[in-house]
Amino acid sequence: MNNPFSLKRFGSILVFGAMLVLAGCGGSGGGSSGTSTGTMSLKITDAAVDSADNVFIQFHGLELQAADGTRTTLYLCEDPMNPGATIVSDSACTTQQKSRQIDLLALNGGLADTLLDNFTLPSGHYSWIRLMVDTAGTLDSYIVISGNDFELTIPSGDQTGLKINRGFDVPAGGHADFTIDFDLRKSVVLANNGYILRPTLRMVDNTMVGAIAGTVASSLVPSGCTPAVYVFSGAGATPDDIDIDNTNPDPVTTASVNTTDGTYKAAFLEAGDYTVAYTCDAAADDPMVDNTADNTVTFSNTATVTVTANSATTHNFP
């Protein structure tokens, strides 16, 4: 079934509107045993998609599980000192819950917004983190296509949230800094019962990532083209579209191309070698369909690019 808006990379960062005000000191459980603590910052990012006007996701908290099984829950609550504002608390809300609705499409091309800012947590190793999402109400998490609103269904989202199974450490007396990347091109599909979000989440250490950026020649963007740059892990990879069965390696990320000036940026890439490829068929890349069968997505100008941490590598498509 064709996806009319072909959502690919949930590339921009989760805009919690303004930066969330922090509350609590992380004393409700979490990392390693003992009372030592560290701080953690967490950002959310996404990349633009081809045919959607907005993609709204509504969050009401986070959950982290330590290696020893201890869980820490962080709640989004109304600020008792500033009604209408939101705070993050490591204890249940004494005021009303204050969910935040974010338009992920407001963040692309390497932009990011802050979810946690130097939040104090028990130090130690954590096994996973979960973003708690609202989907049971009306227009809490939804997409907008050609001015029309459509609810987003997240399988088990109300019960389990969006889970990232990636271990990470909060150092004692130190700081951990991460970004979670939503890949909408892989995640949003049109099913018989409506639009479904099957999140493909990637969490990276911000101290170890760089970017690939450059321009695409105007001659590569004819009328009717939906241009994008696909980024694959490793040198000399064979480009392929996004397949739900993962028969062939999916791209690590994709980047939309600004049709006004031809610029693109694929950000939050861990240092190493990558294969980049250009396509004019991004809108036709349906994750429910294997490209080896339909050949609707073709690639050109394939090249190997090396990413260095804390810098942007320039690669142009002439």
Sorted by where each begins, the domain ranges of the chain are: 11-207, 209-314
Give the 3-state secondary structure of residue 153: strand
CA angle 275, 277, 282 (to 5 degrees): 135
**List of long-range contacts for 244-251, beta carbons under 8 Å, 24+ apart:** 244/189, 244/287, 244/288, 245/290, 247/290, 247/292, 248/292, 250/186, 250/200
Return averaged pLDDT per consecutive 10 residues of the chain, 318 residues in all.
41 37 39 71 78 81 92 90 86 85 78 85 94 82 85 69 88 94 73 73 91 95 92 92 70 89 93 96 73 70 96 95
> What is the bridge-based pairing of β-strands 86-89 and 100-103?
unpaired
CA angle 130, 230, 111 (to 5 degrees): 55
Return the CATH architecture of domain 209-314: Sandwich (2.60)
Rounded to whole angstroms, the Cα distance separating 45 from 48 reads 10
pLDDT of residue 247: 60
Whole-model pTM? 0.79
Helix (H) / strand (E) element for 102: namely strand 100-103
Give the 3-state secondary structure of residue 104: helix
What residue type is assigned to position 120 of the chain? T
Instruction: From residue 136, give the alpha-carbon distance in Å to each of 23, 156, 274, 292.
Output: 27, 11, 39, 37
Residue 146 CA to chain centroid, in angstroms?
Answer: 23
Output the six-digit token pair for 280. 């004019």
Rounded to whole angstroms, the Cα distance separating 256 from 111 reads 13
